[in-house]
Structure formats: C-alpha cells, structure tokens
Structure 1
C-alpha cells in the first residue's frame, strides 16, 4: 500500500520529534549522572539544611553533599520525589523544622522548588506533598533564595526566615503572621543555615554570620566557606590557618594530650597543637608526621610516644622537636592492638597501661604492657551515638562528638552513664574561637 505524501511527512516529523526527545533525554541523563562537582573549588550552594541527626546537607544543582566532606551524590537518591515532580534542576531553599511546640511538623525537612514546597520526615515525603508554597506558608513568595528556621529565643517567636533578593520575611509558625523586613547590612543570601545556635548567610562561596532578628553582621565578614564548612586539603593563600583550624565547624578526626599536657587535635590534612601555656599552633599533618600525610582515625599517648591509627595501620612517633617516626612502623592495627579497624577514637589515662579503644558504640581495653596485646572488657557507650575523638587527663575523659565535647569523671562513668553531661563547644571552649 502506498501512503499519501502528507501522511509520510507527518510520520517522518513524529519520528524526528521522538528521536530528538530521546536524544535530549539521553543527553540530560548523561549530564544528570556524569556531572562532577568539587566543593573545594568554591561552589555557590543553592540550599543548606541539617537532617534529623544534625548532619548538614549542602545542595548544588541536582546534587547533594552530605556532611563536611565526601563526594556529591544525586539528590533524588535521598529525596526521590523532588525529581519525580520537578525534573530536578536545583533546590531554591531548605530548612529543618525543629520545634517541640509543633509536633505535626517537628523534625520535618522542607524543600522549596519554584512554586512548590516538599515536606519530608526521615527521607519519606509527607502525605499530600508537594503543595503550593502559598498554601503551606501563606504570605511567602515563590522562587525563594533561602530559608532558615529561627526558634525562640533566637527570634521572638518560633519562626522561619525566608529570603528573596532584598526582602526578608519572618514567618510566625503558630499564627502564620508574616513580618516583612529589610536587612540592610547583610548581602543577598543564596542559602542560609542555622548551626550550633548561630545563623549563617552564604553568598557565592563566602558566608557571613548574622543576627536573625536584625540582620546585623558583626566581626570580620565575609569569610571563606571552604575554610569553615568543608574539609579541603588546600586553602587560599590569604586564609588565616590558625583561625581556620580553631573555628572550623568540621568535626575533629582525633585528639590526644601527651605526658606533658600538650594537646594535639587532627582534622583532615591539618592539626592544631595547644601547649600548657595555652599557646596554639597549626600546621599540616605532613609537615610533622610526613609518613601519615592526612586523615588520622585515632591517636593516643603512651610513655612519651604518640600512637597514631590510620585505616588498618598503626604509626608510632617519639614526642620531640621534631617528632621521630619509629623504625619498623607502620604495623597492622590487628597485629599491634589485637583489634580490627576501623577505630573511631582511643586514649590512655595518666599513669596507666590501658589503651581504651572506641569502635562504634563499644569501648575495649588493651593492656599496652602485655604481649600479645588483646582487647578485653567490652562495654557499650549508650549515652553518645558516636565518638569522633577522645582524650584522657587528670580530671577524666573528654569525648568529642561532632562540634561538641562532654566530660566524664572516669572511663567507668563514661561507659555506665545514661544521662548526657553538660555540652561544651569544641571551637569555643577548647580552642578559644570567638565566633
């Protein structure tokens, strides 16, 4: 059968349209999955928020960075519906609703994309979402730049602060009243973030700390986001290395105090030392411990030596100027301490031969004077979800989790405790950071 010419032309047009669509789709999928983002090269983030465990999520385009280091992953891997409903380009704004007085929305994460708002609880979308922004947050405009939660007493009432160009909207969570303001001293925010009870406005790859009520920015801002909110191996030449390490929001990898009372704290490629006169110094790990290079998992001090654990290996240095790497090391952790890695933290208390090894939520004892060394006396640490670093001194154990540390009078009290002791800030109270 011979088809009329106009039917043939129509079929040809449809075929070309289909082919073009799939070529575009395949190209989009290729871009969607092949894009490589490096936050250490200075990215302007689209949105920042915490998850329910307090881990920061940084959004860029259709990708997501979890925590302060690590590679980008596709956002739809964690929040599938963002892509289902939107063919995800980027998240405009995000915040975590964390108000005890609002049980309906407590611990929910809200995402804003164009005119829509998405609400998640533990990575599952709430029923009925996405919704129009005007339905959930009446009086708040579409196509937002940033958003951040502001609980009492930081704001007069439990609120959310929304940013769109020069306009700032304080949204009262209870009454839904909107108070429109202008923060004259603050730059336009591409994302905003509440972290450790402070408020940060990100603009480009820099940030400013601001007062959520007035928008006032005090101190020397803007600062480089990579110096404080990311763990990068290299920094700009004009970075203040000591201030960066003192004030970084990235958690420590390891910490110890030696027999003289000097403290060594390790983070990524860098470490900070604090002597008995509270004098602080910062340098690269490679400059003082070249065999290690970077990324220490745990450190403990024993008989004027630093025992440094990286992955499955143990390095030993004699304390001095400079520190001396012992011949024959590194050796396998399993061979030297009788325990498999990875190890989260380790410490020895003064005048003792017991190395206390923390792995997950368990603590083990290893007698350093024994041969062979074997882990004994396993106990669980129920009061902390994780321990990033720990050290022991004359007054007990200091356990660091995230940006905070907790003091326990003894190892026994740390293992037996059911109530979390007073929370202290690492940057402020351990290293004297003023911001």
Structure 2
C-alpha cells in the first residue's frame, strides 16, 4: 500500500511538473507581447532578451533556459530571475571590459565569454557602490554619449548615473520618461521598455524623442502578426531585425525581404512600399534565405528550393518551379546570401563565396573563395557602384566580389534603416 501511495505521489509530481513546463513554454512566446525582465547585447552584438528563467537570443527564435548559456545563474535558488543586464565595453577599465553583468535581487554576476568570473556573484554594493538592490533596469553609456564611461541604473522613479572610473554616483530625475522595466543600448541609441512597448531617450537628460510609445514587436522582434495600429511601412523600414535578402532588378528597383514582409523602392523615386511576401509571391508564403536578380527575373531561394519570378505587375511565377537549388545553381541549399553581377551569380555559404556562370549549361558553383571578414553574411546585392554586404543592422561597401574576398579590414559601416530606408529613429 505504501509503495502504491509513493508511486501515485511520484506520478502526480511528474504530471504537475510536466504541466508547469508545458505552460511555461506555451506562455513564453515573444510575439504575444510579454514584458521582458532584461535586455542586453552579447560580445557579437546579438541582443539577449530575458524573461523569468528563460532567454530569447536575437530577434526571432524560441526561448531557451538561461542556465544553458549561463549555468551558474541556476546555482542560487534563493535569488529571483535576471532583473537587469548589460554588457560593459570600456577599454579604459580592463577589469570590467567586455563583461556581461546580470543583476538578481542584491547580487551581481559577471561573465567573460560566457564563463562566470572568479569571486562572483558579489553584492551589488561591492561592485557598484552607491547603487541599490532590486533594480528595475540598467544600461551602459560610453563617452561621449555620456560625459564619462558610465552605467545608468533605474529603480522606480530614481535614476543613478554611475561613473565607472571614479565610482561616483549622480542621482538624476528624468521627468519626461516613464519608469523602465528594462533598458537597452543598440546601434548607439537608448531604449526604455515599458512592458512590451518602448521609448527612445537621451541618456544624459532623459528626454524622450517621441511621446508616443512604440510597439517592441514592430522593431525588435520578427513576428508574423501585429497589432491593428501597426504601420507596415514604418515597421519594416525602421525595424532592427536583420534583412533576410536584398536585391535590385534590371530597372534598378530595390527589394528587401524580412520575415513575412518585403520593402520595395523603385528607381528614381524616394517612396518606399511595404507588403507581405505572400501578396506578391504567393507560392513562397514567407521568409526567404536569399534573392538575386538576373535578366528581368527574381531568383528566390528558400531552404533547398529555388523559385523564379518574371518581374512585372504582378510578378509571374515560372512554370516548373520550384526546383532544387543544386539542379539550378550546382550546389546544395540552403545558402546564406546570393547576388548577381552581370552574368555571374556569387553565392555565400558558411564563410565561402562561390561563382556560378548563369550562361553555362549545366551550371556549376566553382571558384571557391573564403569570406573571412564576417562570421555570417545576412544578405548582399550588386549595384553599378559595387557590392553592399549586410550584416545585422549595418551594411558595408566593397568595389567588387574580388575585393570582398580579399578584404581583411572592415570598411566604413553604414546603417540599414537610416541610409537604405531613410528611418530617423
């Protein structure tokens, strides 16, 4: 009898645990408008969004347990979840340079290359004297964006500017900004999150650029469905989510693809248009890996398949497609990026670039060259002035594919949302 009761208890405990885990995973859908506890950028510039004991990496993808990336966070069960986080990138402070800091209750954890540093966790007051416990948000602020390399801490209505070098604490009052549930520095701009909405603010004064709070899912997440008040064009041109593909057709019209949507900019016009991929390319539905234009056709690659459309109003899907990428271009999909310069298509996959002569039959991907400058290329396109290579939220100009392959130093960095799409925030 005792054995039966023990077995029943174990089964009940397992069922409850399973139900709780299932519920937790069901709730943790960033596209449902959940409030993040903390946001920080890692060493590679990838944003990490923390919620409870889970972590979202990048702008899309499912949640994973935080302790899978930062194991020691789970060793202190008396502490709560990550309340705020930031990455300190101040070369004048070698002790803390390039560290990620996580705050839980009264403790702070310091990680270097995803490893907890010796002696941590420590009391917040020991590492950041004058800063209180149980913080709401924190964000790094390098000079000259702040007068000195600093960290801005938020707790209710109280704002603390902590100078890294002198450890001085200056209490500020940001009258125009609502209380932050998390804060984030991205592309040299500062964002205060209020639940799943955010405001952009000036770190020195707290001045809010736009009194209207914006929807975080429109700019920092890739979601297929949005609120009714969302402006598709505004969202797509100002989104911080990287582009999946970009190209320009023979007439010079530009197409940029991200998730379920694409932006079009016609040659000779400053007007942008945004629409769903399915509305113009219904056979694709959404999310492409790469797109290039050749002889008035758009070649659109998704996984290991290639779709071809004749450019027009509307675009015409060619009969017989999709076909395997290997059959059409001589190499297996998926691929990272593709761009056509005259009769040659250049394919980038796994830090290598291959050339495909579109006039050859059969077509073969050859002339393999390493592209060691970037770990991963998101998209690229060829234009009369050279190659635009897009990595995350930035693009880089190269005079030719040969220069791209030979490059060992980054050229000038340009912003996608600002310089390609004219977004000012």
TM-score range, shorter chain: over 0.9
Partner of 2:393: 403
Q: Post-superposition, which runs of at least 4 consecutive aligned residues in structure 1 deviate over 2 A?
A: 19-34, 86-89
Partner of 1:305: 297
CA contact (8 A) 2:79 2:105 kept: no
C-alpha distance in 2 between matches for 1:98 and 1:130? 20
CA contact (8 A) 1:32 1:62 kept: no
Partner of 1:204: 195
CA contact (8 A) 1:33 1:74 kept: no
1:95 aligned to 86, 111, 129, which one?
A: 86
Structure 1: state its 5+ residue gaps: 1-11
2:288 aligned to 284, 291, 296, which one?
A: 296
2:144 aligned to 138, 153, 167, which one?
A: 153
CA contact (8 A) 1:307 1:314 kept: yes
1:221 to partner: Cα distance: 2.7
SS at match of 1:371: coil
Counterparts of 1:353-372 in structure 2, within 5 Å, are: 353-372=343-362
1:386 to partner: Cα distance: 1.8
1:376 aligned to 354, 366, 371, which one?
A: 366
C-alpha distance in 1 between matches for 2:232 and 2:395? 22
Size of the aligned set, in residue pairs, is 418
SS at match of 2:76: helix
CA contact (8 A) 1:301 1:307 kept: yes
Structure 2: state its 5+ residue gaps: none
1:341 to partner: Cα distance: 1.5
SS at match of 1:317: strand
- 1:167-215, CA deviations, whole angstroms, 9 ceiling, x for partnerless residues? 0000010111100111110011010000000000000110000000000
1:228 aligns with 2:216: no
SS at match of 1:227: helix
- 1:146-169, CA deviations, whole angstroms, 9 ceiling, x for partnerless residues? 000000000000000000000000
Partner of 1:74: 65
1:173 aligns with 2:164: yes
Partner of 2:115: 124
Which stretch shows the higher mean deviation, 81-90 or 28-37? 28-37
CA contact (8 A) 2:80 2:105 kept: no
C-alpha distance in 1 between matches for 2:18 and 2:128? 33
Partner of 2:274: 282
SS at match of 2:218: helix
Partner of 1:44: 35
Partner of 2:336: 344
Partner of 1:183: 174
Change (3 A) 1:322 1:84: same
CA contact (8 A) 1:209 1:221 kept: no
Which stretch shows the higher mean deviation, 234-243 or 157-166? 234-243
1:194 aligns with 2:178: no
C-alpha distance in 2 between matches for 1:291 and 1:44? 35
RMSD: 1.9
CA contact (8 A) 2:199 2:210 kept: no
Provide TM-score, normalisation by structure 2: 0.95
Change (3 A) 1:22 1:103: farther
CA contact (8 A) 1:384 1:420 kept: no
1:385 to partner: Cα distance: 2.2
Partner of 2:103: 112
C-alpha distance in 2 between matches for 1:58 and 1:135? 26
1:83 aligns with 2:74: yes
Counterparts of 1:407-422 in structure 2, within 5 Å, are: 407-422=397-412
CA contact (8 A) 2:184 2:190 kept: yes
Partner of 2:24: 35
Radius of gyration: which is bigger? 1
